[in-house]
Structure formats: C-alpha cells, structure tokens
C-alpha cells in the first residue's frame, strides 16, 4: 500500500503515524483512497467497515460507559462536538430525530470526497449499537458530490 502514497505521506506511514499530529484533509483522502485500492480491492464498502472499526477504537473506556448511560439521545446531542474534535472544517448537526430515527447532516466540508461519507456512516452505526440500539442502519441519503447541499446520514434502529 505504501507505493500508492505520495512521498510525504509514505514517510509518515513508514514511521507508523506514531506521533500525535494533525493531518490535513487531503492526506486523509489520499490515505483512504489507497486503502480502497489496495485493501478493499477497489470496493468502497471497505470504508463502511473502517468506520465501524474506528468507532470501536475511539469509544473505549469512559466514552463507552457514557454511551450506555445516556443511550442514543446523548450520542445525538454530542455529534457536533465529536465532529469538531476530529476535524477542523465542516460541521455535523442533527437535522431531525425521533424515537427510532435520526438524520445527521454534514455541512461546509471544503473538500467533499467519495471516500469520506462511508466511514462516517459506519462510525455512526457502530456508535448507535454501542449506545444500546438494535438493528441499526445508517445510509448516506444525500451527498455534496452528487450536487446536494449537504451530506445526509439517515439512521434507523430498534
């Protein structure tokens, strides 16, 4: 996979991304596209799985306890905060929600990418499962790359 990366990003990858550092969105996109080509065999569905894995890694320890205490409504209340911790552009909001559904909307990302939405959908789905929801689905129902004004993530659960 390293051969797929630019020299700068390849050096960081060879070092193992061990030093905490802020990475620009174009680096994330490049790395993610390389994952799709090499690990995913060109299938973007691997990104949904990557988002699920990232959620498992992100929500350990005390974070997981908070999810269990507050369930899905707490997660939805914190979605915009969680976005701003991970990204320095764009904003994630809860566009609407009910007892068993929610729509998250991602606005103002300066570099929308096809490889961006699927990991988010996978992450959100797994977070809802960790919050105690069952039969969770999260679909990308709108995307800026298709000309929509925002990317929408439609969630359903029991």
DSSP symbols for the chain: -GGGS-HHHHHHHHTTT-S-----HHHHHHHHHHHHHHTSTT-THHHHHHHHHHHHHHS-THHHHHHHHHHHHHHHHTHHHHHHHH-SS-EEEEEEE-SSEEEEEEE--SS--HHHHHHHHHHHHHHHHHTT--S-EEEEEE-GGGT-SSEEEEEE--
The pLDDT, as a whole number, for residue 26 is 82
Residues 33 and 54 reside in one and the same domain? no
Residue 71 belongs to domain with CATH number: 3.30.1380.20
Exposed/middle/buried for 16, CB within 10 Å: 0-12, 13-18, 19+?
A: exposed
Q: How far apart are the first and last CA of the chain?
A: 39
The pLDDT, as a whole number, for residue 78 is 81
Residues 86 and 132 reside in one and the same domain? yes
The pLDDT, as a whole number, for residue 64 is 65
Residues 122 and 134 reside in one and the same domain? yes
Q: Splitting the chain (158 residues) into consecutive groups of 10 residues, what average pLDDT does each group show?
A: 82 71 77 86 89 85 63 80 84 93 93 85 91 92 93 95
Q: State pLDDT tens for residues 36-74.
A: 888 888 888 899 999 999 888 877 776 666 666 657 887
Residues 122 and 61 reside in one and the same domain? yes
Domain range enclosing 29: 1-43
Per the structure, the count of domains in the chain is: 2
Angle between helices 62-77 and 79-86 (to 10 degrees): 110
Instruction: Indicate yes or no: pTM above 0.85.
Output: no
The pLDDT, as a whole number, for residue 122 is 95
Q: Which two tokens stand for residue 153?
A: 């993530």
Residues 49 and 39 reside in one and the same domain? no
Residues 77 and 91 reside in one and the same domain? yes
Residues 10 and 49 reside in one and the same domain? no
The pLDDT, as a whole number, for residue 81 is 85
The set of residues, in sequence order, having a beta carbon less than 8 Å from that of 129 and lying 6+ positions away, is 136
CA distance 109 to 141: 17
The pLDDT, as a whole number, for residue 17 is 65
The pLDDT, as a whole number, for residue 69 is 60
């Amino acid at each position: 996979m390293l051969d797929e990366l630019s020299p700068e990003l390849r050096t960081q990858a060879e070092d193992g991304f061990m030093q905490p550092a802020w990475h620009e969105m174009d680096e994330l996109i490049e790395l993610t596209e390389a994952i799709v080509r090499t690990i995913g065999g060109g299938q973007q569905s691997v990104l949904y799985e990557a988002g699920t894995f990232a959620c498992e890694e992100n929500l350990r320890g005390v974070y997981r306890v908070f999810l269990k205490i507050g369930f899905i409504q707490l997660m939805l209340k914190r979605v915009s905060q969680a976005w701003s911790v991970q990204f320095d552009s764009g904003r994630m909001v809860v566009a609407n929600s009910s007892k068993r559904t929610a729509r998250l909307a991602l606005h103002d990302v300066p570099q929308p990418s096809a490889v961006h939405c699927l990991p988010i959908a996978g992450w959100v789905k797994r977070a809802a499962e960790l919050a105690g929801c069952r039969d969770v689905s999260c679909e990308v129902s709108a995307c800026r790359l298709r000309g929509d004004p925002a990317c929408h993530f439609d969630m359903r659960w029991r």
